[in-house]
Chain A
């Protein structure tokens, strides 16, 4: 009985300390030092949130760079992958289908090597990135859909280069490009071109 009472008291004490004070303390510091990041790295346009820089969005329109396949169609409630094993026939069929779709959608040569992240679904279903080479393969299609001439198309290629994130500190992770950021910049580029006309 004495042990039970001690257990209850210690449990209560640690619940308050690690379950209330600790998270509140971290929240306080986080909101003070990194308010934007602590609140989800939201991108605000005209006072409205249009997305989070970290959360990928579904892009399948011909005027945008395409995002990775997602087992949850970029609906974050809840997040997750396909969990298909490599010998699952569904996975093989999906890869064949996605490859065909990517090649025809972007009017590429049928022998083009499609970057594998465009054929396989991500782990979170919310991957905000693709490889820069996947973006470059889409330039012609987007330029055509937006009616860009060849100099404007070059601007688009420059945009991809400027938005490419290299390995962090030149050391960690993989080179990548944030598709939401890229598409926002693309809209802006298009806007500027139209305004200049």
Chain B
């Protein structure tokens, strides 16, 4: 690593920390209905939304109606995206004359984008028309991110309100996230990206005669508008197969820096929004700090692994699956961020990362996508771990556990465990299944322990709603499309439903004022405990599988067998 590499990393974190209170404060105003700068610009649009759709924005609902609305809305999106894929030849904007998508791939892709996963079993430029990318996928990029934020806002209301069953209005939270947060940021970001060279057009693919006299077909399309939201909304689904390593998707170091920052921007800022909404900015920074520490640990290990020499390739910089303009540091900073944040876009091929750097990406996902995590999803996932930590701390000192004046009782802990176990069970069971059946093994691109890593990564990515891959695995088969599709559904709603139940139960409770015996959740001791709980739960669950995958491969690489 050079000094310039270190400067880029520091600059990245400095900007992330600096932007967190600014955007966080803005989102606080948006979600609490205060005046904010976007109201004069988009306020009329919010009114029109409610008018056209007949939503009563003053009506508040309990957790069950809130969740039911959310599930219905997501179901509608799922069905729509599925349908337009299987009939895309009859729809407009298909200049490359791409055929209809197979039913299992269409199922997988529609689940994938609806659940904010953006796992891609298909290759964008050779599978989907501009119509499907735009009217189907871009929309899901927005609303799946907005759904995550809505769940978080409901949970925060559950924590900060007392003796009520009202958690707000799903349609209002959905609309505000989209209109005031995601849309303005995306417009701005998309235009900056085009300025760097990302394409945005509706032209047919361009056939060129290369300098050496062969033909090359250059894909086209409305890419920038989709890339902006896929980075900001922790979606991650590339317009092209190579995702953000594709030069038309991420042409320069500057576009790369911004796309990387966009991965973590909203999830980080939401911690500040949280602090403001529960009445203690310090609580927000506590969570931010715990997340940042976990991210920096992972990044340091990855960088160390990538810059280490090994007996097979000696001191050769490991540029397989990496782009010259990004080099190793920017590829690893991206791989760590995208896996921590449940984004899943890539600017380097994770399959070709050194075993330990690949494992860090995998572990970031397996810990539950709570190191900043998905927009909304990361923080509500982290709050689940906070409940667990408070509970365990309460057991240790023999007091009734409390969080922000709310008693944590059996129901909350049960629901928290469901939310933690659901994705983990999917990872372990499906990986075990795929590694013993022919339809699972025949898709592998690498053999041995690295092959197991490909399978583990796929199901971790699905259950964590991340979407990145060890992409050598040929996942566009009936077996993988269905199991991964199912895994994504469990990973999303197996967490959302218990979280909403916790929100509903917490809202009904009284708030006890803090006393001398109150266990504080805004200091370094708590940060340490929280990190320990996260690592112990993740470690106990996944260490055995990891030792057969990436750890075994690391040993093979260094023993030169």
A interface residues (Cβ-Cβ under 8 A, vs B): 3-4, 6-11, 13-15, 17-20, 22-23, 25-27, 29-31, 33-34, 37-42, 48-61, 64, 68, 74-88, 91-92, 95, 116-117, 119-131, 167-169, 171-174, 176, 180, 183-184, 187
Report the bound CA distance from A41 to B209 in whole Å. Answer: 15
If A122-B322, A167-B4 touch, whether A51 touches B208 (CB-CB below 8 Å) is: yes
Are the CB atoms of B187 and A174 closer together than 8 Å?
no
Are the CB atoms of A37 and B194 closer together than 8 Å?
yes
If A38-B200, A84-B446, A88-B450 touch, whether A127 touches B253 (CB-CB below 8 Å) is: no
Q: Please name 30 pairs of A and B residues whose Cβ atoms are closer than 8 Å in the assembled complex, sorted by A.
A: A7-B76, A11-B76, A15-B139, A18-B178, A37-B197, A51-B208, A52-B206, A54-B248, A54-B251, A55-B248, A64-B212, A68-B324, A77-B219, A79-B125, A79-B240, A80-B471, A81-B242, A81-B349, A82-B321, A83-B470, A84-B445, A85-B553, A86-B320, A120-B318, A123-B245, A126-B242, A127-B325, A172-B8, A173-B253, A173-B325
Among B174, B310, B327, B557, contact of A173 (Cβ-Cβ < 8 Å):
B327
Interface residues on B, range: 35 or more
Are the CB atoms of B320 and A84 closer together than 8 Å?
yes
Are the CB atoms of B139 and A122 closer together than 8 Å?
no
Report the minimum CB–CB distance from B184 to chain A (whole Å).
11
If A51-B208, A87-B553 touch, whether A9 touches B225 (CB-CB below 8 Å) is: no
If A81-B320, A84-B351, A174-B324 touch, whether A58 touches B214 (CB-CB below 8 Å) is: yes
If A83-B321, A88-B446 touch, whether A34 touches B217 (CB-CB below 8 Å) is: no
Q: Which residues on the A side are within 8 Å of B80 (C-beta)?
A: 11, 15
Report the minimum CB–CB distance from A109 to chain B (whole Å).
17
Report the minimum CB–CB distance from B422 to chain A (whole Å).
24
Among B187, B219, B346, contact of A22 (Cβ-Cβ < 8 Å):
B187
Q: Which residue of A lies closest to B200 (CB)?
A: A30
Are the CB atoms of A26 and B190 closer together than 8 Å?
yes
Q: Which residue of B lies closest to A174 (CB)?
A: B327
Are the CB atoms of B178 and A14 closer together than 8 Å?
yes
Task: List 10 additional contacts besides A37-B195, A174-B330; criterion CB under 8 Å.
Answer: A9-B54, A10-B49, A37-B194, A38-B224, A39-B203, A48-B208, A51-B210, A78-B124, A80-B241, A84-B445
Are the CB atoms of B197 and A123 closer together than 8 Å?
no
Q: Which residues on the B side are within 8 Å of A127 (C-beta)?
A: 247, 323-325
Are the CB atoms of B190 and A14 closer together than 8 Å?
no
Are the CB atoms of A18 and B138 closer together than 8 Å?
yes
Q: Which residues on the A side are within 8 Å of B135 (C-beta)?
A: 15, 19-20
Are the CB atoms of A40 and B253 closer together than 8 Å?
no
| Residues in B321-373 with C-beta less than 8 Å from chain A | 321-327, 330-331, 346-349, 351-352, 354-355, 358
Are the CB atoms of A80 and B242 closer together than 8 Å?
yes
Report the bound CA distance from A58 to B559 in whole Å. Answer: 36
Are the CB atoms of B69 and A83 closer together than 8 Å?
no
Report the bound CA distance from A133 to B391 in whole Å. Answer: 58
Among A4, A14, A53, A174, contact of B253 (Cβ-Cβ < 8 Å):
A174
Check B72 for interface membership: any CB of A closer than 8 A: yes
If A54-B247, A81-B321, A125-B242 touch, whether A87 touches B355 (CB-CB below 8 Å) is: yes
Q: Which residues on the B side are within 8 Å of A41 (C-beta)?
A: 197, 251
Are the CB atoms of B211 and A59 closer together than 8 Å?
yes
Among B183, B208, B257, contact of A18 (Cβ-Cβ < 8 Å):
B183
If A50-B211, A121-B321 touch, whether A23 touches B4 (CB-CB below 8 Å) is: no
Are the CB atoms of B200 and A84 closer together than 8 Å?
no
If A19-B136, A41-B197, A117-B319 touch, whether A26 touches B218 (CB-CB below 8 Å) is: no
Q: Which residues on the A side are within 8 Å of B518 (C-beta)?
A: none
Report the minimum CB–CB distance from B526 to chain A (whole Å).
36
If A88-B450, A91-B320 touch, whether A18 touches B139 (CB-CB below 8 Å) is: yes
Are the CB atoms of A187 and B139 closer together than 8 Å?
no
Are the CB atoms of A40 and B199 closer together than 8 Å?
yes
Check B63 for interface membership: any CB of A closer than 8 A: no
If A23-B222, A57-B216, A85-B450 touch, whether A130 touches B313 (CB-CB below 8 Å) is: no
Among A23, A34, A55, A60, contact of B247 (Cβ-Cβ < 8 Å):
A55
Q: Which residues on the B side are within 8 Å of A126 (C-beta)?
A: 242, 246-247
If A30-B194, A39-B203 touch, whether A79 touches B325 (CB-CB below 8 Å) is: no
Q: Which residue of A lies closest to B219 (CB)?
A: A76
Report the bound CA distance from A43 to B358 in whole Å. Answer: 37
Report the bound CA distance from A86 to B550 in whole Å. Answer: 11
Are the CB atoms of A87 and B211 closer together than 8 Å?
no
Are the CB atoms of A22 and B183 closer together than 8 Å?
yes
Check B201 for interface membership: any CB of A closer than 8 A: yes
Q: Which residue of B lies closest to A68 (CB)?
A: B324
Report the minimum CB–CB distance from A19 to chain B (whole Å).
4
Report the bound CA distance from A9 to B123 in whole Å. Answer: 31
Q: Which residue of A lies closest to B80 (CB)?
A: A11
Q: Which residues on the A side are within 8 Å of B54 (C-beta)?
A: 6, 9
If A31-B201, A169-B254 touch, whether A9 touches B355 (CB-CB below 8 Å) is: no
Q: Which residues on the A side are within 8 Å of B318 (C-beta)?
A: 86, 116, 120
Q: Which residue of B lies closest to A39 (CB)?
A: B201
Are the CB atoms of B253 and A86 closer together than 8 Å?
no
Q: Which residues on the B side are within 8 Å of A129 (C-beta)?
A: 323-325
Report the bound CA distance from A62 to B314 in whole Å. Answer: 29
Q: Which residue of A lies closest to B190 (CB)?
A: A26
Report the bound CA distance from A53 to B196 in whole Å. Answer: 12
| A-B pairs, 7 with minimum CB distance | A173-B253, A83-B472, A123-B245, A78-B123, A85-B450, A79-B242, A172-B253
Report the minimum CB–CB distance from B217 to chain A (whole Å).
6
Q: Which residues on the A side are within 8 Å of B470 (C-beta)?
A: 83
Are the CB atoms of A55 and B76 closer together than 8 Å?
no
Q: Which residues on the B side are within 8 Å of A22 (C-beta)?
A: 138, 183, 186-187, 225
Among B214, B317, B471, contact of A116 (Cβ-Cβ < 8 Å):
B317
Report the bound CA distance from A180 to B216 in whole Å. Answer: 13
Q: Which residues on the B side are within 8 Å of A117 (C-beta)?
A: 319, 324
Check B191 for interface membership: any CB of A closer than 8 A: yes
Q: Which residues on the A side are within 8 Å of B242 (C-beta)?
A: 78-81, 123-126
Q: Which residue of A lies closest to B327 (CB)?
A: A174
Are the CB atoms of B138 and A187 closer together than 8 Å?
no
| Residues in B154-195 with C-beta less than 8 Å from chain A | 171, 174-175, 178, 183, 186-187, 190-191, 194-195
Report the bound CA distance from A18 to B140 in whole Å. Answer: 9
